Structure 1
Amino acid sequence: MLNNLEQNLQYRRSVMRVMLMLVMVGGSTFSAINFYRGLWPLAILELIFAFFAFFLWRKVLQISHFQRWVSAFLLPFFTTMVYAMYVPNTSVSIFVWILTIPLVSYLMMGRKQGFWISLFFIASGVSVYLYRFIEGDSVINIADTLNIIISASLMMSLAHVYEVNREKNEDRLLELASTDTLTGLANRMKLRENFTLYSEYAKRHKSSLAVVIFDLDYFKKINDQYGHHVGDATLCYIANFIKDRVRKTDLLARFGGEEFVLLIVGSKEKDCYKQVDSLRQQLKDTPFIYDEVTLAMTVSAGIATYGNDGLSLDDLLLKADQRLYLAKDNGRNFVVDSIKESEIKNLTTNDI
């Protein structure tokens, strides 16, 4: 998801670069024309924006604080558009540029900022247009006024509807990209993104964070004996069973096959063990019934804690996986954390 958001930002940078190129060419051209016509203040402003656009055009693909630079460019640029229409002897055709403000605002600033910026500058542009160019026959004035207001409202409405639907579609695509299609749980991509957020929170607030790997015991036998459709239903049952019994602040993800990963935030290692072991026991005591088939299921689990067992997700997954296989080697239907790992190793050493 983070990569998708970065791609969206790069897309906006590319669009901004095209717009800056047009401003460079247009600003230089209209500046020369207005110098010739004697409209010195407007010509100087247009020349300044042409140079400003050239500066940003060279930097925009790598520049930091992109949205701040967008605001620093667009707000004065839109103000200059309105001013250009106010200046005596300028052409009525400048209003065409005013109508582009909603499209540019929504595209570069997003829905919320784009709406308010568009509303302000469209209202200002329409007001200046009515002040400068509406005169003479009252009937024609009313018709012209309605045309201007309707066309401006239409452009703003279309830009708003487009941006709202674009955001919804983007959110939907991001959700699909971060969701396991079978169980509806988070997938590996979302697991990594959430771990980044959780680990930053844990580091900042000196809070605990645990990574748990669950593995369904003897899952291959279910597939072999009853078919993959029963295996898929079993995985969905396990996913919902665990998800319904963990906190909303914790994240459950399908890691692959019959493995699930749970991120537990803010619980000490002993409490994590109690929670995971309770889930194991509840699952053991709750058989899954599917199409008149009753399946008694158990899980094995390994627990790793942030800081003690590593700082990266890969390190914690590796440690949790080692403890998971230690649980399987000790009869399955078992949970192993650092304490249980030490106990097992001590027993093994004593036996030797």
Structure 2
Amino acid sequence: MKKHYLLNWVWGMLLWSTVNVSAQNAALKNFPEGSQPQEVGDRIVNKFLKTPHTRFGNPRAEKAPDYITYPDACTWLGALWYAKATDNKLMTAGLVKRFEPLFSTEKHMLPRMVHVDYNVVGAVPLEIYIQKQGGQEYYDLGMKYADTQWQVPADAKPEQRAYADKGYSWQTRIWIDDMFMITTIQSQAYRVTGDRKYIDRAANEMVMYLKEIQRPNGLFYHSPEAPFFWARGNGWMAAGMAELLSALPEDNPNRPAIMKAYKTMMKTLKKYQGKEGLWHQLIDEREAWNETSGTAMFTYAMIVGVKKGWLDEKEYALVAHKGWLGLVSYINADDEVEDVCEGTNIKNDKNHYMNRKRITGDLHAHAPLLWCATELVTVN
């Protein structure tokens, strides 16, 4: 725990210990000054608006980005959600204005539509369109990112064509990160069109991933080649399931399997939450350091579950409350979240995960923090 955040954390824990566990609203609404969702959300969005495009989320990367990377897109999307939830029209206008150059002077910064991490960028113009802050060009751009995820290119590899032949995205690679990237752009396409093919194929894709890589305890290896419960990787899956289930119609045949997988994961995550409210860089390794991006994603998934009635509020509302307070204690005076795991490729080596660098201000944590803030400010 950072010393300069200790007082805030102590007050938070005192409040947490006195919350009536039978009241979801109390657990998800009562926060001490400095930790209130709207205070925190305003700080993080305003920081984003002042921060240039990053290279894979790191504002201090030595090299400038060649294109808009997925941490920026996920933060942008979260900021738009948050601005709408708080009815902050000035903030919304600033977020839209930031996108406008991508149709002109920054058009070269739009990523190619050839990878799950690239295609998720389309969720941002679709959100701008959904909020009636942008016209047909926003719709067309966003839908192109959604549609090309299932349109097999001529130069696709045999393994990509094999997935497509089975009805899955040709961009499938069985990495847990994918289950936020794919489900988010497809969910957005469903929201904007009402066409169930988008949400149905996202759900079908999710079920395939669950069968392939979810472990009996509900957690996920980073990939079949990397049998470690890496926090942020699991965070993408937790957030992806919460986001997908929020959009998925009740009569979708894959919904029960996804809900079961989600609840199994939440149960195990509850068990591994640390004393300070955070989860570790490797979830089941107590000696691993507290990691903020995974914590934010797990907290978001639980907040959504409690609000939607999927999770027992007596068990999970306080876990989410504790997670939020722990996460907020890692925001520094410059409105940056600390102790964010650096970008992490797959490697069959435990130390590869245990010894990752801790980044300050990385958007991998700022994005899910905004998702949490959005859900918390809309608690009734």
TM-score, structure 1 length as denominator? 0.24
Q: Which has the higher strand share?
A: 1
Q: Which has the higher helix share?
A: 1
TM-score, structure 2 length as denominator? 0.23
Larger RCO: 1 or 2 (CA < 8 Å, sep 6+)? 2
